[in-house]
Amino acid sequence: MKHLLNLLAAVALLVWGTHLVRTGVLRVFGGDLRRLLQRSLGNRFSAALAGIGVTALVQSSTATSLMTSSFVGQGLITLPSALAVMRGADIGTALMSVLFSTDLSWLSPLFIFTGVVLSITRPASPAGRFGRILIGLGLMLLALQLVVQATGPLFESEAMRAVIASITSDLMLEITVGAALAVVAYSSLAVVLLVAAMATGAVVPLDVALGLVLGANLGSGLLAVLTTAKSPPAVRQVTVGNFLFKLLGVVIAAPFVGLVLRQAPTSLVDSPAQLVVMFHLAFNVIASVAFIGLTTAVAKLSMKLVPVPRTPATGTRPRHLDPSALSTPTLAISNAAREALHQADVVESMLIGVLTVIRSNDLRLAEELRKMDDQVDRLYSDIKYYLTKISREALGEEESRRWTDIISFTINMEQIGDIIERVISDIEDKKIRPHRNFSEAGMAEIVEMHERLVANLRLGMSVFLNGNVRDAQKLLEEKVRFRDLERAYANTHLTRLMDRTAPSMETSSLHIDLISDLKRINSHICSIAYPILDSAGALAPSRLRSSLVGAEDPH
């Protein structure tokens, strides 16, 4: 029992080390890796090379699959390009298995010591996050040593030999077991390294080891399919297509396992572990090179197996909150930002519709616009809930700031939706049903404020998306202009009341409330600029005091 616990602990340490490296790399380099993928998708060969590089760093073809799937779901790349990336990703993870199979045990204490020092002394800095990557690498190397040490005594028992013998000469069972291990461990890399270590200790015969490796490859594809099971169809098409490639490769390679064992060149392979990882590498290289020309055909098959519904999605449903991206914080933050812009699009439609209701007295449109506020509220709740499921500890400083910006943006959009709903109700009660109209001058003022407000909303959405400091400054300047405009129009309205203008007298309460509500909406829009300017150091702490002094100083 003790030896079994030692083995299980070593396997758990290997999986945990792989997890630390994967999450650490995504924290530190996640944004750069996503940009590298996007820039390298001009053709299938550059896409495959990008897949090799990204997966070699992340040490997980599943993580690369989730990033690439999200790009397809957002319409940034085509499905064939994404499948080409995955061909390279398989080679990348195989290359890492070759690297870790070499004797790097002397690096384990160095990596762990350096990583702990960096993570403790500088926990919130990039150096501290890089330290956690080193800890993960050190734990992986240490775990491989422990696996070798634990398997020897354990598999000397008759019971364990009987278990191993039961799967010998049954290739389908070997592949099934390997696939199951990859799914449970959430890493085909960890399973391949485990099998290599067990082959070194003669725990499993070489033919069984190679069968388990084929199963681990199949399991990594199945894992991605299961991870994206609740994602939109466009996302699932990538993982299904990648699984089809893996399945085809395993079906073709399985009959040749015995031939590989007989023909393996002893000059190149001098140990069982090396044979296992080199078989893993050769399988992925040959399959990727042979199948890269089939990406278009497999993409068409994937689209048939996972069709996209023809009916358009309603505005009430989130479009970009892919649950499978939550394991990649950088990607999840990007998805939440895109959904926040979707929420802002609904708000913009409501705002544009307000003027149409005022002009046409359309009660039916007014009802539709008020219902759209429910959509805005639901999207706000969905985005907020999605963000709370992202581990804050897994976010870097910039991502944490973006997390806060998204929450702030969605709160402002939700409050704008509430104001618009109230404005529409007032228009129904005080203008449409009593059959009243604004004066010509009053209507012109409302139109001008409304046009400026829509322009500011669009500028605010651009500031939120791009974080441009100059546009943020321009947006904040609009707050002052809009406030002055509201005061000026309130005064001109009072002048019309003094002149006893009949339409102005009938709609006075509505007019004053309306221009005040438009100013409040503008204030919420302009608040989008504050986080951007604050991050850039462009906000003076005493800006209110300075503005008051400036107002009192005639010079």
CATH number at residue 488: 1.20.58.220
Q: Which residue has the higher pLDDT, 163 or 228?
A: 228
Three-state DSSP class for 540? coil
Residues 7 and 127 in one domain: yes
| Phi, psi for residue 59 in degrees, rounded to 5 | 60, 35
The amino acid that residue 531 corresponds to is: P
Q: Are residues 282 and 349 in the same domain?
A: no
The rounded distance, in Å, linking the Cα atoms of 354 and 372 is 12
* pLDDT confidence of residue 524: 92
- What is the helix, strand, coil percentage profile of the chain, to 5? 85, 0, 15
Per-residue confidence (pLDDT) for residue 550, from 0 to 100: 40
Lowest mean per-residue pLDDT among 109-123, 140-154, 334-348, 363-377: 140-154
The set of long-range contacts for 70-73, using a CB threshold of 8 Å and a minimum separation of 24, is: 70/235, 70/322, 70/324, 70/325, 70/331, 70/334, 70/335, 71/37, 71/38, 72/234, 72/235, 72/237, 72/238, 73/231, 73/232, 73/234, 73/235, 73/320, 73/322
Which pLDDT belongs to residue 379?
Answer: 92
Q: How many domains does the chain have?
A: 2
What band does 330 get if pLDDT is binned at 50, 70 and 90? Answer: confident
Do 433 and 473 share a domain, yes or no? yes
| Residue (of 271, 283, 319, 424) closest to 362 by Cα position | 424
Between 90 and 72, name the one with better pLDDT. Answer: 90
Q: Is residue 162 part of a domain?
A: no
Residue 169 confidence (pLDDT) above 80: no
Are residues 453 and 388 part of one domain?
yes
Same domain, yes or no: 149 and 31: yes
Tell me how far apart the alpha carbons of residues 323 and 168 are, in angstroms, rounded to a whole number. 39
pLDDT at 378: 92
User: Cβ neighbours of residue 392 under 8 Å, at least 6 residues apart?
Assistant: 400, 403
Whether residues 339 and 392 fall in one domain = yes
147: Cβ contacts below 8 Å, ≥ 6 apart? 7, 10, 11, 14, 194, 197, 198
Q: 409 pLDDT band (50/70/90 cuts)?
A: very high
Q: Which of 305, 340, 374 is the last residue of a domain?
A: 305
Whether the pLDDT of residue 554 is over 50: the answer is no
Is the full-model pTM beyond 0.85?
A: no
Q: What pLDDT does residue 122 have?
A: 79
Q: Outline where 317-362 has alpha helix (H).
A: 329-360
Q: Are residues 125 and 239 part of one domain?
A: yes
State the amino acid at position 313 in one-letter form: A
Residues 376, 506 share a domain: yes
- Greatest mean pLDDT among 96-110, 269-283, 446-460, 488-502: 446-460
Alpha carbon of residue 94 to chain centroid:
25
Domain presence at residue 555: no
Which letter, b or e, does each residue of 301-313 get, where b requires 16 or more Cβ atoms within 10 Å of its Cβ? ebbeebeeeeeee
Please list, in sequence order, all residues whose beta carbon lies within 8 angstroms of the beta carbon of residue 371, skipping any fewer than 6 positions away. none
Do both 299 and 370 map to the same domain?
A: no
| Shared domain check, 237 and 343 | no
In a domain? residue 554? no
Same domain as 233, residue 299: yes
Is 239 in the same domain as 147?
Answer: yes
Q: Which domain-ending residue is among 243, 273, 305?
A: 305
Residue 455 corresponds to which amino acid?
A: A
Residue 382: how many other CB atoms lie within 10 Å:
18
Is residue 241 in a domain? yes
Domain assignment of residue 232, given as a range: 1-154+167-305
Task: Show which of 272, 305, 338 is a domain's final residue.
Answer: 305
Distance CA 515, CA 537 (A): 33
- For position 31, what pLDDT does the model report? 62
- Cα separation, 112 vs 131, whole angstroms: 8
Q: Which residue has the higher pLDDT, 241 or 321?
A: 241
In the structure, what pLDDT confidence band is assigned to residue 410 with cuts at 50, 70 and 90? very high
In this predicted structure, what is the pLDDT of residue 352? 92
Position 315 in a domain: no
Q: What is the pLDDT of residue 179?
A: 87
CA dist 85 and 64 (Å) reads: 8
Is residue 453 scored above 80 in pLDDT? yes
Q: What is the pLDDT of residues 469-506, one digit of tens each?
A: 888 888 888 888 888 888 888 888 788 777 676 766 77
Share of the chain above pLDDT 70, in %: 77
- Tens digits of residue pLDDT in 394-407: 666 777 888 889 99
* pLDDT more than 90, % of the chain: 12
